[in-house]
Structure 1
Amino acid sequence: MHKNVNQLKMGTLLSYLTIAIQNISAIIYTPLMLRFLGQNEYGLYQLGSTTVSYLGLLSLGFSSSYVKFYYKYKVKDQEEEIRKLNGIFLLVFFGLAILSCVIGGVMIASADALFQDSLTTADVQQVRVLMAILIASMAITFPNIIFDCYITAHERYIFQRIMLIIVTILIPVISLPLLYMGYRSTALVCVNLTLSVLRFGMNIYYCLTKLHMKFQFHGLEIGVLKSVGTFSMFIFLNEIASQINLNVDKIILGAVQGASVVAVYSVGSQFNQYFINMSTAVSNVFIPRVNRLVAEKQNNAVLDQLFIRIGRIQYMILSAVLVGYLLYGKFFISKWAGDGYESAYYVGALIMIPYIVPLIQNIGIEIQRAKNMHKFRSIIYFVIALANLGISIPLGKYFGAAGTAFGTTLSTVIGNIVLMNWYYEKKVGLNIALFFRNLIQPSVILGIAAVEGIIVKHFFAVHSWSAFLVQGALFMSVYAVLLYFFGMNNKEKDDVRHMLKRGAK
């Protein structure tokens, strides 16, 4: 148990280290990529990546189901059933890898029909090449899922995060020299393919040699596959909705506006992706614990404590990031991305402001799934996502990147905030009123720090990197000090002191 707690704490710390490395890498790497590739080819790169990302839906929600069924058998010490479960998932994911290649081929053949009105013939051909390489990378990802899930179920977060850190560092380290040598976007996706193969091989080695993962392919019961399939079906529906809400805007803009507008939207939405990563860095390491608590039939009071504890941590971090973006993001984007990306700031703001609520509640998604109560969420998200798709097409046509971002904002408020909080309270049994009451104190602290930032910015406008860094550091320092002394409870203060002591060692 002590070992698992250390894995959990170190996994969380390494997750934030990964995010820090990713953000630093993006700050350095993205503007260089924009300058080497140009706005048009960067837009093509994003368009190809976004289009192929929809093949990830072929996982059919199975990846989110593994941990639940693993703990169903683990708490009963049914090791043979776990081996059969591993066998079923491996066969399913290899089948999905083959299917992804087939569907990917159809997508490549259809590229001309989809983008002929907004892209040149040469651009369409370039998108096809990018898609072919990205499809190969996606096909490798599918069988890797079962090994990644097995590592998660064993709560071996240190290995997972170190591998992610290595890959994160290698991407720009390999890609930048290639860009300097004159290679284009094709080289970038080849790098991603190579690193996908590397990560797959390392996961297989770790699972087989360190965790002694075993597979059984005889005596497989069709009933288990049906149970997994039924459970996964609504997760799959939810993943379709997530893909629509997070990625379809780029495809819409590619079809009605062109590659340059896709590039602008991609820069703004990239900040929302960092936002999401910061949230899941905490919640992902608690997925096994949630499933274990539900499998052990713990009451809702225990789940409420975890829901509030994780939500407060996420809120303290994300709210500061959001206010920092609103205060200083416009200057940062103008200097970082360059001319022509001014509206990316508004894209980021429109998406991030409402998204903070579902992000600080995302451990609730795992509680729903562990309780097998995720059907409502999936249906609601799917309906809202279709509505988002419907309104984003005309909004994108007439208002560009900001228009499609507003469509996503509207769907987030209705689906993720209003309807889901009603469901959490009335059906899942979580105390939502108590959850939001626990956010009042840190919100007051955030408000004070925000006022400080606004006043300083009013008298000393941000026109240089030095002013940006000084004002940003001052805002974060005021927030951190006030939060520690007046916004955190004793347990949170103990955790901070513990992390600082570990860091000092």
Structure 2
Amino acid sequence: MSQIKKGALLNYTTIFLTNVVGLFITPFILNHIGKAEYGIYTAIGALVGTISVLDLGLNNTIVRFVAKYKAEKDRKGEENFLATTMLIYGAISLTVVLIGVLFYGHIDTYFTKMNAEELRIAKTIFILLICNLAIGLPGGSFTGICYGYEVFVFPKTVNIIRYILRTITVVAVLTLGGKAIALVVIDTVFNVLFLIVEIYFVFFHLKVRFKLHEFKLKYVKQIFGYSLWIFVFALVSMFQWKAGHWILGSIALPEVLTIYGIGIVLGTYYGSFSTAISSVFLPRATKMTVGNATGEELTSMMIKIGRISFIVLMYIFGAFLLFGNQFVYLWVGKELGVEGSHETWLIALLIMIAYTLPLVQGFGNSILEAKNKLSFKAILYLSFLFLGVVLGAFLAKTYGALGMITGTVTGWFIVQNVMNFYYHKVIGLNIIRFFKELFHKTILMVIIIISLGYLINLIPGAGWISFAVKAICYSVMYALLMYNFGLINFEKELFKSSIAPVLKKFKL
């Protein structure tokens, strides 16, 4: 099995693990640290996450240029490039610390709805996360190097191990009385330990070297010429996932931040199932671009990836649309209440609706990165999502967390539709063919399955047993109908080849 297939498989293992464990551990954390402290934890995390845009897109730049230098067998160029990026990362880490020191003194004046004890907790978490970020930003480059070498198995396996150990530690510490601050300490320790493991792998297994053969501004310009638009996309991501926390943090109680934060978490779980596929294809997109692949060839690849993503996403979306409200109440209803649970479900549902098209067309972004044509998309997204956040801030005054997310996803939805014209007219992708083949057989099955799902929802009961019965019935129905009537031959063969090693192992 190739590194790409293994990487995608490990991505899905990670996603399954993090999502399933996350679903169990979130109510556990809420129960042990309380709704208010959880809101502080997510709000400060989002605030420090905003500072992480100072990465300036260098991580993705490393993936692209390492893949390029490796394809060209330019060892010296690779060494010089990596040494230059490390110098840049050193300056970035110093800037992160300085910004952290500057903002620390203004936490009290910004989070006006927090009491004295809540502000103390917020400040402690902020300091720890700033230190974590200063170390983590340059540390992420080692994962980028692995991806550039199309080595996905090791870093993803390490990530799985880290998550398992981190989860066990969190459960133990909170059981013994730890609170939100303890969570941040745990994350910092694990990040440092596993960063050391990745550094060892890159230097001693991949035999990568960082050597500054010459320092010229043209190298820095080359790096930032590519990473600039990835940096802008980091700003876009900031508006998508973190701006709501800033705005609600200044006008709402920590409990509202918890409702919003959990809704965002569910929405990001949804997206992770698709990005698991598309994230391993940036090196492949780079190779196809260097090889002057035609627009139709790139479209064919985008269709293959898009259909697989769409089939997976529609399974999740249909289930959440039908049974999500019941699930969220059972999951965190004790802490959030009926109204809070319903609002969380609506926030996540709105994210899923707006997120589907960008996720299905994720390979299109890889093509833009490989062709170094991110500028239009970056400016478009940044402009409309900024307007979406402004609209959300206006709506949040009346409708709280639900108003905030409504404004954000409105800008998000509009801009992705505009991007399809750009893909078609400028990049040369056949978007009409993309949608025609994407929906071939699948869309009819999705409509039929969701329609039948409403009948499944008539199964009586409001507890976990009722939910489990509904979920199993839906899953079996989706699998049977989609496999027999929604998949094309290529996808059926891909599915068979993926499960064949498992069946062989267990002699099934």
The reply to whether TM is greater than 0.5 is yes
CA distance in 2, matches of 1:107, 1:473: 49
Native 8 Å contact 2:388 2:412 kept in 1: no
Q: Percent identity?
A: 28
Q: CA deviation at 1:462?
A: 4.4
CA distance in 2, matches of 1:77, 1:159: 22
CA distance in 1, matches of 2:6, 2:402: 39
Picking from 262, 266, 290, the partner of 2:285 is: 290
TM alignment of 1:9-158, pairs within 5 A: 9-116=5-112, 118-158=113-153
CA distance in 2, matches of 1:415, 1:125: 40
CA distance in 2, matches of 1:23, 1:34: 16
Counterpart residue identity of residue 66, structure 1: I
Unpaired runs of 5+ residues, structure 1, are: none
Q: Deviations over 1:318-372 (max 9, x none)?
A: 1110111111111111111124232101111111112111011111111011111
Residue aligned with 2:106, SS = helix
CA distance in 1, matches of 2:269, 2:202: 29
CA distance in 2, matches of 1:379, 1:83: 32
CA distance in 2, matches of 1:25, 1:377: 35
The aligned counterpart of 2:375 is: 375
The aligned counterpart of 1:366 is: 366
Q: Number of aligned pairs? A: 498
- 1:71–1:94: structure 2 CA closer, same or farther, 3 Å change rule? same
CA distance in 1, matches of 2:212, 2:82: 9
Counterpart residue identity of residue 89, structure 1: T
Q: CA deviation at 1:461?
A: 3.4
Q: Deviations over 1:31-85 (max 9, x none)?
A: 0111111110110111111111012100111212222222333333211101101
CA distance in 2, matches of 1:216, 1:271: 43
Native 8 Å contact 2:93 2:134 kept in 1: yes
Residue aligned with 1:137, SS = helix
The TM-score normalised by the length of structure 1 is 0.96
The aligned counterpart of 1:280 is: 275
Native 8 Å contact 1:31 1:336 kept in 2: yes
Counterpart residue identity of residue 501, structure 2: R
Picking from 281, 304, 310, the partner of 1:315 is: 310
CA distance in 2, matches of 1:290, 1:350: 30
Picking from 292, 296, 303, the partner of 1:301 is: 296
1:324 matched to 2:313? The reply is: no
CA distance in 2, matches of 1:71, 1:208: 17
The aligned counterpart of 2:467 is: 468
Native 8 Å contact 1:449 1:479 kept in 2: yes
CA distance in 1, matches of 2:256, 2:95: 32
Native 8 Å contact 1:261 1:401 kept in 2: yes
Q: Deviations over 1:215-257 (max 9, x none)?
A: 1113133212101112211211121011112111122111111
Structure 1, 436-445 or 182-191: larger mean CA deviation: 436-445
Picking from 142, 159, 162, the partner of 2:157 is: 162
The aligned counterpart of 2:219 is: 224
Q: Deviations over 1:443-490 (max 9, x none)?
A: 1111111111101213x2341211211111111111111211221121
The TM-score normalised by the length of structure 2 is 0.96
CA distance in 1, matches of 2:293, 2:412: 31
Q: Deviations over 1:169-201 (max 9, x none)?
A: 122200111111111111000000011102210
Counterpart residue identity of residue 471, structure 1: K
- 1:476–1:274: structure 2 CA closer, same or farther, 3 Å change rule? same
CA distance in 1, matches of 2:460, 2:225: 56
The aligned counterpart of 2:403 is: 403
CA distance in 2, matches of 1:199, 1:55: 22
CA distance in 2, matches of 1:236, 1:161: 24
CA distance in 2, matches of 1:214, 1:300: 36
CA distance in 2, matches of 1:107, 1:327: 43
Residue aligned with 2:105, SS = helix
Counterpart residue identity of residue 73, structure 1: Y
CA distance in 1, matches of 2:260, 2:318: 20
Counterpart residue identity of residue 12, structure 2: Y
CA distance in 1, matches of 2:32, 2:479: 38
Structure 1, 285-294 or 335-344: larger mean CA deviation: 335-344
The aligned counterpart of 2:4 is: 8
CA distance in 1, matches of 2:446, 2:485: 11
CA distance in 2, matches of 1:103, 1:224: 27
The aligned counterpart of 2:232 is: 237
Counterpart residue identity of residue 287, structure 1: L
1:432 matched to 2:431? The reply is: yes
Native 8 Å contact 1:331 1:462 kept in 2: no
Native 8 Å contact 1:264 1:401 kept in 2: yes
